[in-house]
Each structure stands twice: as C-alpha cells, then as structure tokens.
Structure 1
Amino acid sequence: MFVSYNFGIITEQDFGLSYANRGFQYNDGFFETLIFHEGKIRFLDDHLDRIKRAMQILSLTPLPHLTASFLQTQVLELIRQNNISSETIRIKINIWRKPGGLFTPESEEAEILITVAPQQPFPAVIGQADFYNGLPNRFTPFSFFKGPYALHYVQASIAKKKAGLDELILLDEQENISECLVSNIFWIKNNQVFTPSLETGCIAGIMRLNILRACQMLKVEVWEGNYSRSDLSEAEAVFTSNVTGLRPIWAIGQQIFANNHPLISQLQKLALA
C-alpha cells in the first residue's frame, strides 16, 4: 500500500510514527474523511474549509500544499499507485502537531498523512436503532471536527455491537438528541426538516451542511435546535447523513418509521448533485 506522508508518496512499510508523536501522546490533532467518486473528491472545498478551521483552533500553521488542486492530484496518484478501481473510494486525512514538548507544545507546525481505500458498501436502510445512555456528547470549540474526543464514540460503538443494533443515537448532557455514531441525524414532520443544533456537540458534518443547502433550494423549512426523544418519536421519517450519503432509519426502539419518504430521495439527489 502507498500512502502520502507530508505530501510525499511512500510505501506503507516505509511509514512509521515516533513514540513522541503528539497525535499518539496527547490527541493533538484530528482527522477528516472524504469521498472520491466519479473522478473527483466530493465536497472538496467544504472539507478544506473545515480542515482550515480545525487547524486554526488548534493553533497549527496552515499547510501550504493543502489546496484543492494539489489534493486532487495527490489523491489521483495514490489511487493509481494502489491500483484501486472501486467506483467509490474513501480518503482519510490525519493531521497532527510535530513532536516536541509535553502538554505545552514546542511547535505550531503540522504533519499530514493521506490514505485511500475502497469504500465498502452500506445497506440502503438502517434497520434497528436505539438511544445510547452512556457517555454524553458535549459542546466544545473542538466538537465540530473529528479526532480529539473519540472515546465516547468508541464506547458507544462497543455498546451497539453488544446490543446487536445497527445504529445508536447519542445524546448531550441535557439528554437532547445530538447525532448518531458516524453521522448526523435528521427527521421529517409535516414536510419540515429537523436536526440537532451544533450546540449539542454533534459534528458539523459536510453532508449535513449540504442537506441544509438542499433544503434552501427546495424551500423546505428547517429547524435546528434542542430536541428530546419524544420530539423524535413524532417524526414521520428519520435519516442519517455522512460523506457516503443519506440513509433512512427503519426503527428506533419499538417505533417504526417510513423509509421511503420522497423528501429523503429529493434531498439525497440535490445534496449530491
């Protein structure tokens, strides 16, 4: 396997991390997941904007080569060298601070790792979901991106696996609905769309952003706020969103929802256009 380390393409065997790596030692970094489809990186400008905002808030110096044109070229070369022919390819970008210092870092410079792999298919519909009653989500200046606080996602994923569920819905400290394990959550009622506010600690998802744009284009009213389990129980349809697309949820607990709501298809088509 070939990877891109600090924008140089090397073999996986030649890549290694020092014990002093700050991502490993202090979670001093983050990651971004992107999708390559039909010859281009989907929502690339939106991803780059979130990366730049994350680096700024972590006091990391911008990486000069991290531009749309260079990243597209680099990913194409990684796909070629790894001989990947899948229709949809998953890109992961890890960024962390250069080694040096203990809690107080010695540098604001960053290192970057880019990897590509075939995107495994997902079922079109999420079967059985339920609420996670373990560690809550918490809003912080860092909660809009992925990486620093992943332990509650790991623990929730373990709970999902043990319970034999297809999805778990995470709550914040006030038991407001926040998000799902690897996706944002939306629901439809009276042809209006509802989704938790970013203040619940959910990820500021790139697909979430584009669904909100699609709602504007369709002139569908959107409500972002704090919602309880009972609010969700009044929905006609519930769906999740991440970089792979939109997926309706068939059941939450004992309650069944419509998984063929026409608005979900409209939003999927428009958001991915």
Structure 2
Amino acid sequence: MINFNGELLYPENINISTENRAFKYGDAIFETIRIINKKIIFWEDHYFRLMASMRMLRMKIPMEFTLEFLEKEILKTVAVQEQVSDYRVRFNIFRKNGGLYKPDTNKIEYTIEVDVNTYLTKEVYKLDVFKDFYNYSGLLSTVKTNNRMLNTLASIFADENDLDNCVLLNERKGVVEVTNGNIFIIKGNIIKTPALTEGCIKGVVRKKMIEMISKNKEFTIEETVISPFEIQKADEVFITNAIIGIQPVTNYKKKTFKTEVGKKLANNLRILQVAGN
C-alpha cells in the first residue's frame, strides 16, 4: 500500500491526474530512505534536507510536517507491508495541481512508497565516465528533484556498456557524482569527494562519511574539484548512497582498484547505522 497525503491506499485507488506537476514539470522532490528493523536510518538528516529543499523550491511546508509526524507516517506505511527487516522508502513531495510554469499554489501533496530492499553490494563493480551530457554545477543540482533525465540516460549507457554505474561530469568537466550516489577517491592518506559547488547531491551518507573520516587520524578528507584523470590514479574508489551505504569500485576503464579501505569504512558505517543518528 502507498501513503497518499496520510491515507493508506492500494496503488490502483490513487487518483493522480495528468495535471500533476511532478508529471508535467518535474516540480517535485524526493528522499530515498532506508529502514532496518523498523528504524529509519539517519532520519534527522533526511528530514532536515527535505525541509531545506522545500524552502529552497518555495514549497509551502505544512504546519504538521514535524520530524515526529513524518516519522510516524513513514512507519505507518511500513507497518502494512510484507514484514521483513530491510526496506527502501521513497518519500515524494510535489506542488498541488494547477498553473503552467507558474504554479497556482505552493501548497503540496505527498506520497510514501515502501519496497523490500533487495540492493546488495557487489564484489565486482565497474565504472566509467558518461560524456554525452553534463550536470550543471549550480545550487539546484544539489537538491533531489524529480528531474533525473541525466541519471536515466547515464544508467542506460551503463547497461549498454556492461557497466555497473557511470561518473557524471559538470560543464567544466569536473567529477560530480555517479548516477545514484556520491563518489569518493582515495590516494595515499587523502580521501577526496567533489565539493557541493561542483553540483553533487547533498547526500546524507556523504555527510556521514565526511564526519566519520574527519575523526579518523589515518586519513584527511577533502571536498574539492576532482578530474576524471584523478580517478584513474586513485588507490581506491567507492560510492555512497542511503540504500547501499558504501559500494567499493573495483574497475574504472582499464584500472583495477583495491577495496580494503572502502570495506573497512563500510563496516564502520554499519556500526553507525546500528548506533543511531
């Protein structure tokens, strides 16, 4: 069942018209959230990113949209699903119907969709650069809007070329992220990830990794500009997102990477998930 504005409905009973602004203009944002053993992982970070995104896009935040209220709505939706220990949740917020580019209202509606999480890390993970189109390095690119055409085309390219993922570049040909997450590269004792000014999504797990690495005396974390050439020169590469956590990369073009540090960090992240926010 799907939560539509607080009401639990079967998908066939949800009435979303062709006037829906998410459908017509991509006028929507979303959060992808993981739930393990009925606990929303890093919920506060997801919530505050969601609120910040709504304010940035001039959506009217309902008075009832408190941290506690939305947590309750998510868990209410999970409770009526097939009972497993690991779920993937998509929380979608879109402006109400009406208007052309200029909306008739900034009031919103929302859906909460829950699926069993079947995503697992892979032992072999191949990566290459997607060069057909670029990700603009503006502030809007850091928000998870429903406009994911670049990610869609890059995912098709990856599938056609026997890859697991693609690196997205900005208009300056700097590394931004991968199709479904943030990217980190390790060279010696320095771990780099693209700065938000490069246009990458302000990922929740990205934030947690930066915090975690900052406390680790073995490594120095840098948010900076990264060229595709630097990926090839790296000792290790890994990607992060809210569902998979950390996925070490084993192959980039003709380069094969070690995965020792990535796996160690993945284990530390799992400990953090269990411990809570």
Q: What band does the TM-score fall into relative to the shorter chain? A: over 0.9
**Which position in structure 2 is the counterpart of 1:112?**
110
The 3 A distance-change label for structure 1 pair 105 and 121 is closer
Deviates more, 1:38-47 or 1:139-148: 139-148
Give a deviation string over 1:187-221, Cα, whole Å, max 9, x none. Answer: 11222210011122111110000001111222431
Q: Is the contact made by 2:21 and 2:94 (CA closer than 8 Å) also made in structure 1?
A: yes
Assess if the C-alpha contact under 8 Å between 2:137 and 2:171 holds in 1. Answer: no
CA distance in 1, matches of 2:21, 2:119: 33
Match of 1:201 among 199, 202, 205: 199
Bigger shift: residues 21-30 or 72-81: 72-81
Cα drift, residue 104 of structure 1? 1.2
Structure 2 distance, partners of 1:40, 1:5, is 21
Report Cα offsets for 1:11-41 as digits up to 9, x if no partner.
2221021111111111111111101112211
Tell me by how many angstroms 1:74 deviates.
2.0
Alignment correspondent of 1:52? 51
Q: What are structure 1's unaligned runs of at least 5 residues?
A: none
1:28 aligns with 2:32: no
Q: Is the 8 A contact 1:214 1:271 kept in 2?
A: no
Paired letter, 1:136: Y
Amino acid at match of 1:15: I
Cα displacement (A) at 1:181: 0.8
- Tell me if structure 1 keeps the 8 A contact 2:37–2:85: yes
Q: Deviations over 1:215-235 (max 9, x none)?
A: 122243111111112222221
Deviation at 1:57, TM superposition (A): 1.2
Conserved in 2, the CA contact under 8 Å of 1:169 and 1:181? Answer: yes
Q: Secondary structure at the match of 1:73?
A: helix
- Preserved contact between residue 141 and residue 199 of structure 2 (Cα < 8 Å): yes
- Cα deviation, 1:216-264, whole Å, max 9, x if unaligned, reads 2224311111111222222111000000200100010100100122653
Contact 1:126 1:247 in 2 (8 A): no
* Shift in CA distance, 118/3, structure 1 to aligned 2, threshold 3 Å: same
Task: Quickly say closer, same or farther: Cα 1:222–1:271, change in 2 above 3 A.
Answer: farther
2:253 maps to a residue whose letter is G
Task: Give ranges in structure 2 of 5+ residues lacking alignment.
Answer: none
Deviations 1:106-135 (A, max 9, x none): 111011111111011323435221111111
3-state secondary structure, aligned to 1:135: strand
* Paired letter, 1:105: P
Distance 2:149 2:51 in 1: 24
Q: Which residue in 1 is equivalent to 2:132?
A: 134
**Structure 2 counterparts to residues 244-259 of structure 1, below 5 A:** 244=243, 245-259=245-259
- The CA RMSD measured in Å over matched residues stands at 1.7
Q: Give the TM-score, by structure 1 length.
A: 0.93
Give how far 1:140 is off.
Answer: 2.4
Alignment check: 8 A CA contact 1:54 1:142 kept: no
SS state at 2:140 partner: coil
Measure, in 2, the Cα distance between the counterparts of 1:212 and 1:132: 25
- 1:67-115: CA deviations, max 9, x gaps? 3322222222222222x22221011011111111111111110111111
Give runs of aligned pairs for residues 226-245 of structure 1, distance below 5 A.
Answer: 226-244=225-243, 245=245
Identify the residue that residue 268 of structure 1 maps to in structure 2. Answer: 269
> Shift of the alpha carbon at 1:265?
4.0
- Which residue does the alignment assign to 1:122? 120
Looking at structure 1, the residues matched to 266 and 27 of structure 2 have their Cα atoms a distance apart, in angstroms, of 39
Letter in 1 for 2:151: Y
